Amino acid sequence: MITVRGLTKRYGDRIAVDGLTMDVAAGRVTGFLGPNGAGKSTTMRMILGLDRPTAGAALIGGRAYRDLRHPLREVGALLDARAVHPGRSARRHLLAMAASNGVPARRVGEVLAAVGLEAVAGRRAGTFSLGMSQRLGIAGALLGDPGVLLFDEPVNGLDPDGVLWVRRLMRSLAAEGRTVFVSSHLMSEMQLTADRLVVIGRGRLLADAPVAEVIAGSSRNAVRVRGPHAGELAARLAARLGPEGARVRPGDGGALLVSGVTAEQVGTAAHAAGLPLFELTSVQASLEEAYMELTGSSVEYDAAGPVAEGTGR
């Protein structure tokens, strides 16, 4: 388990992580989300003892990383897939890691097979594509058979087959009772992979909840309703359901989108008003929509839009 309490990191006047508190439990995949510059990588680096916190603490199994007797056998991490000596082969890179951490050499062959790099184990790491480097980084994280694993953007550079493989790997590691903490910008993949989400923006915690709960909190969840008297239906719904927090807005194709209530409530209101319906459908927001709502005010690099032709140099 990873325990973070009041974790803060300042660089001069800039606050990268601001009083972050969270628990990353074993037996599930916890997704770590946030815009660029939100403090995700800095948080992971502090958990791994690579950056010193300005305040607060990050503990692994109740201990700071620096106090672990056999770090690689307790914590595996992939933070930078390119952080490998380019002149070393994949096998020699892993053998060096194993030798310096008391891991049996036979384990190198096992993890190379697990990540699908057996056939290229003798090639220099500097010749690897980004996807192959990601696989080598994952092999390094798995080398000590640790109970806690951290992955920073592990699917970058992977093809669809590789993305599916990473998803299945994360799920299988969590099913074995390990703590799996994964950052990603791919919302669709996190929706399929993670059990719980920690979302931060500008270094502060925005959400810490199961994936379904994060999605359920989105205002984009709605009931799509369509009938021959759209204007009257909107007025009736607003009058009847307004006090309960219902919001009515236009949708495409002449439909209305009603949020804050259930399809049953909308259908009952329409029936009471004697208004026929052609369509009554519950529409669930995607994780991407929920995420964009959560982080909308926390985006550090917000583009204004496309540059008009002929204005650039």
Q: What is the mean pLDDT of residues 99-125?
A: 95
pLDDT bracket for residue 244 (50, 70, 90)? low
Q: What is the mean pLDDT of residues 232-237?
A: 79
Would you say 46 and 97 are in contact if contact means Cβ atoms under 8 Å apart?
Answer: no
Residue 308 has pLDDT above 60, yes or no: no
Residue 301 has pLDDT above 90, yes or no: no
H-state helical runs in 122-159: 130-142
Domain residue ranges of the chain, discontinuous segments joined by +:
2-216, 222-283
What was the pLDDT predicted at 303? 55
Strands 75-78 and 148-152: parallel
Cβ neighbors of 203 (< 8 A, separation 6 or more) are 9, 15, 16, 17, 18, 20, 38, 39, 42
Structure tokens at 27: 């037996």
Distance CA 126, CA 64 (A): 33
Residue 3 has pLDDT above 90, yes or no: yes
Residue 126 has pLDDT above 90, yes or no: yes
Strands 14-24 and 2-11: antiparallel
CATH class of 222-283: alpha beta
Residue 31 has pLDDT above 50, yes or no: yes
CATH of 2-216, one of 3.40.50.2000, 3.40.50.1010, 3.40.50.1370, 3.40.50.300: 3.40.50.300
Distance CA 155, CA 134 (A): 7
Residue 8 has pLDDT above 50, yes or no: yes
Residue 146 has pLDDT above 80, yes or no: yes
pLDDT 10s digits, 32-91: 999 998 999 999 999 999 999 999 999 999 999 999 989 999 999 999 988 899 999 999
- Residue 195, helix vs strand vs coil: coil
